[in-house]
């Protein structure tokens, strides 16, 4: 990978091995989407709920914590719902600037515990989700959400992780 910059604001991320999880997840997404990891640049802010709530308020008008936020360096979304986004193009320097991701330890940990799954599995999923956003995938329109979820499941499967959406559906079915 050319440049994966990880800024750790919450030391609990060190114990969660965020460096290794991020490297594996980012590499998996870029390889799957035929983006040369040697050309890619992105950053990840490993923070807590207070910081991510501030970011969420400032950028989305939602003053609450969330698990992951993404800021693509440019608009790459598909025009038609369910289509693949425009592939990123290298700049004059030959590098592909993808953008930035923020991920909250508190929310990730709480969600992993609630879903009874390992933290590493959940964090890997969320980083994959964030990188797909940087590549132009989204889940606002139903066909786009279906495509994005399918990609997440496929990439996670290649890494040996279970389908997180099946697990969520099973847990929700038990609760209702």
Q: Report the pLDDT value the prediction gives residue 167, as an integer from 0 to 100.
A: 54
Domain boundaries 3-175, CATH class: alpha beta
CA dihedral 162, 159, 144, 57 (to 10 degrees): 90
Each domain of the chain, given as residue ranges in start order, spans 3-175
User: Helix, strand, or coil here: 156?
Assistant: helix
Low-confidence ranges of the chain (pLDDT < 70): 1-2, 167-176
For the stretch 30-43, pLDDT in tens is 999 999 999 999 99
Q: In 3-state terms, the chain is what percent helix, strand and coil (to 5)?
A: 50, 15, 35
For the stretch 49-68, pLDDT in tens is 999 999 999 999 999 999 99
């Amino acid at each position: 990978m050319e440049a994966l910059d990880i800024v750790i604001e919450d030391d609990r991320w060190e114990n969660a091995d965020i460096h290794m999880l991020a490297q594996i997840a980012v590499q998996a997404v870029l390889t799957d989407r035929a983006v040369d990891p040697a050309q890619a640049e992105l950053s990840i802010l490993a923070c807590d709920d207070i910081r991510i709530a501030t970011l969420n308020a400032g950028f989305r008008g939602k003053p609450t914590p969330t698990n992951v936020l993404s800021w693509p360096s440019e608009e790459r979304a598909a025009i038609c719902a369910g289509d693949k986004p425009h592939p990123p193009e290298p700049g004059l320097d030959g590098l592909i600037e993808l953008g930035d991701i923020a991920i909250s330890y508190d929310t990730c940990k709480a969600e992993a515990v609630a879903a009874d799954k390992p933290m590493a599995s959940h964090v890997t999923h969320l980083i994959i989700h964030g990188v797909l956003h940087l590549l132009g995938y989204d889940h606002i329109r139903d066909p786009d959400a279906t495509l994005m979820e399918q990609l997440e499941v496929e990439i996670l499967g290649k890494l040996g992780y279970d389908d997180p959406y099946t697990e969520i559906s099973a847990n929700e079915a038990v609760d209702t």
